[in-house]
């Protein structure tokens, strides 16, 4: 069963062809350079860029998969959560294609896509069996999910304020490092050297909630106490301390959840899961606790359409269909 999948929830225009759960093509047109001058995603710009790129990205996904629309058996698209104007472009395109071609259509939850990304079949990649404890950490969401199957996902806790990726982006902006902040801070933090101390909110609570606005404020207060712009060494020391605070709390909570729910597998998803410091720290802690860790390849952590195609394939193959009256959703909790 060949699925064409479309993802436009934020600032990547993405399309993919997935055949019986295997990825045949995976095209992502990033808009980062258009949002960079503003230090974050500007919704209006995102919608306009999606409009400009959606058709060529779909054409490219079909040609990379050496197929065409005539050979497609179903269409999947992200319907939320995300920016409504951005979602609208991909969702409307998907509905139009499905209606014009008389193909089955399914709307996919973006969070479910991230949570299942580690299970995408790929040569040489070991996939986690169900059940697993998932940490989803991206620019828009941060939470812990018990995943028993693609139809049985329970959110155990999420952030009370900023998402982890959002905190990375805001701290990078504050330090004048550019956008997106995650990879830049990750690179700076990788070098040995001193690290400033920043708080880890809700550390002692036996809950799976997070809060990242405090650490962001602590960085801002630290910078203002310096009495002038931080030099390169100071920026690196801040990056190391901030990264340590975020990474430690993420790993602490997801491993706590795995142990409490007696689940032996830990799975990562979302853009922040691309973080090298997070991957290294999680590998160490999981080994100590006898937990198996599964992290998708970098390109499947950040936004992509193959994860939407994979989730869409499972839904369509199970006979699920979405009506053409479905609307984009800014919020769509799992
Ligand atoms: O999953 P994603 O591509 O989009 C959303 O669904 O939000 O995640 C984007 C977020 C951004 O905040 C970006 O700074 C962060 O993921 N990110 C990282 C890294 N790469 C991307 N954060 C920390 N370390 C990274 N290496
Ligand atoms: Zn995402």
Domain with residue 112: its CATH number is 3.30.420.40
Summarised one tens digit per residue, pLDDT across range 114-127 is 999 999 998 888 99
For residue 179, the enclosing domain spans: 129-296
- Lowest mean pLDDT of 158-162, 204-208, 308-312, name the range: 204-208
Please enumerate in sequence order all residues whose Cβ is within 8 A of that of 57, keeping only pairs 6 or more positions apart, or say none. Answer: 13, 14, 15, 27, 28, 29
pTM: 0.96
Which atom from ligand 1 is nearest to the alpha carbon of 180? 14
Summarised one tens digit per residue, pLDDT across range 193-207 is 999 999 999 888 788
Model pLDDT, residue 124: 87
CA of 272 to the centre of ligand 1 (A): 5
Model pLDDT, residue 325: 98
State whether 172 and 288 are in the same domain: yes
Judge whether residue 31 has pLDDT over 90.
Answer: yes
Calculate the CA dihedral of residues 80, 86, 87, 90 and round it to 10 degrees.
-150
Instruction: Supply the mean pLDDT for the chain.
Output: 96
Work out the pLDDT band at 40, boundaries 50, 70, 90: confident
Judge whether residue 112 has pLDDT over 90.
Answer: yes
122 inside domain: no
Ligand 1 pocket test, pick from 86, 182, 297 with the greatest ligand atom count within 8 Å of Cβ, gives 182
CA of 320 to the centre of ligand 1 (A): 30
Ligand 1 pocket test, pick from 168, 239, 303 with the greatest ligand atom count within 8 Å of Cβ, gives 168
- Mean pLDDT calculated for residue range 72-84: 98
Sheet holding 12-19, edge to edge: 22-30, 12-19, 2-7, 74-80, 105-109
Model pLDDT, residue 282: 98
State whether 271 and 168 are in the same domain: yes
In percent, the amount of the chain with pLDDT more than 70 equals: 100
Judge whether residue 286 has pLDDT over 90.
Answer: yes
Model pLDDT, residue 203: 87
State whether 60 and 182 are in the same domain: no
As a whole number of Å, the CA-based R_g of the chain is 20
State whether 147 and 281 are in the same domain: yes
State whether 184 and 47 are in the same domain: no
Task: Give, using CA atoms, the residue closest to atom 16 of ligand 1.
Answer: 271
State whether 233 and 305 are in the same domain: no
Summarised one tens digit per residue, pLDDT across range 236-257 is 999 999 999 999 999 999 999 9
- 30 backbone φψ class: left, alpha, beta (φ>0; ψ -120 to 50): beta
Cβ contact 212:141 at 8 Å: no
CA of 69 to the centre of ligand 1 (A): 32
Model pLDDT, residue 39: 85
In percent, the amount of the chain with pLDDT more than 90 equals: 95
Q: Is the peptide bond before 247 cis (omega within 30 degrees of 0)?
A: no
CA of 111 to the centre of ligand 2 (A): 7
Share in percent of the chain as helix, strand, coil (round to 5): 45, 20, 35
- Mean pLDDT calculated for residue range 75-82: 98
The structural domain count of the chain equals 2
Model pLDDT, residue 34: 94
Model pLDDT, residue 187: 97
- Mean pLDDT calculated for residue range 13-31: 97
């Amino acid at each position: 069963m060949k699925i064409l999948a479309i993802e436009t929830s934020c600032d990547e225009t993405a399309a993919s062809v997935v055949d019986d759960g295997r990825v045949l093509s995976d095209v992502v047109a990033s808009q980062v350079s258009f949002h960079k001058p503003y230090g974050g995603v500007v919704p209006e710009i995102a919608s306009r860029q999606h409009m400009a790129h959606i058709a060529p990205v779909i054409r490219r996904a079909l040609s990379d998969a050496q197929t065409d629309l005539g050979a497609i058996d179903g269409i999947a698209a992200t319907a939320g959560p995300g920016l409504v104007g951005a979602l609208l472009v991909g969702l409307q395109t998907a509905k139009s294609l499905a209606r014009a071609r008389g193909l089955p259509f399914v709307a996919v939850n973006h969070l479910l896509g991230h949570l299942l990304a580690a299970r995408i079949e790929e040569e040489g990649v070991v996939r986690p069996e169900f059940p697993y404890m998932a940490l989803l950490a991206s620019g828009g969401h941060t939470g812990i999910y018990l995943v028993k199957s693609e139809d049985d996902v329970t959110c155990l806790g999420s952030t009370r304020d900023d998402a982890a990726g959002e905190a990375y982006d805001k701290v990078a902006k504050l330090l004048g490092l550019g956008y997106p902040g995650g990879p830049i801070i990750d690179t700076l933090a990788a070098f040995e050297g001193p690290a400033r101390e920043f708080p880890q909110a809700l550390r002692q609570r036996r809950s799976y909630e997070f809060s990242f606005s405090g650490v962001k404020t602590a960085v801002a207060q630290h910078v203002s106490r310096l009495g002038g712009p931080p030099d390169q060494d100071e920026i690196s020391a801040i990056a190391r301390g901030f990264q340590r605070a975020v990474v430690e709390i993420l790993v602490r909570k997801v491993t706590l959840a795995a142990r409490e729910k007696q689940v032996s597998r830990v799975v990562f998803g979302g853009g922040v899961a691309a973080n090298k410091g997070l991957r290294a720290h999680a590998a160490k802690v999981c080994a100590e606790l006898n937990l198996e860790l599964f992290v998708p390849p970098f390109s499947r952590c950040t936004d992509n359409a193959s994860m939407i195609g994979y989730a869409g394939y499972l839904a369509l193959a199970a006979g699920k269909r979405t009506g053409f009256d479905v609307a984009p959703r800014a919020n769509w909790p799992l």
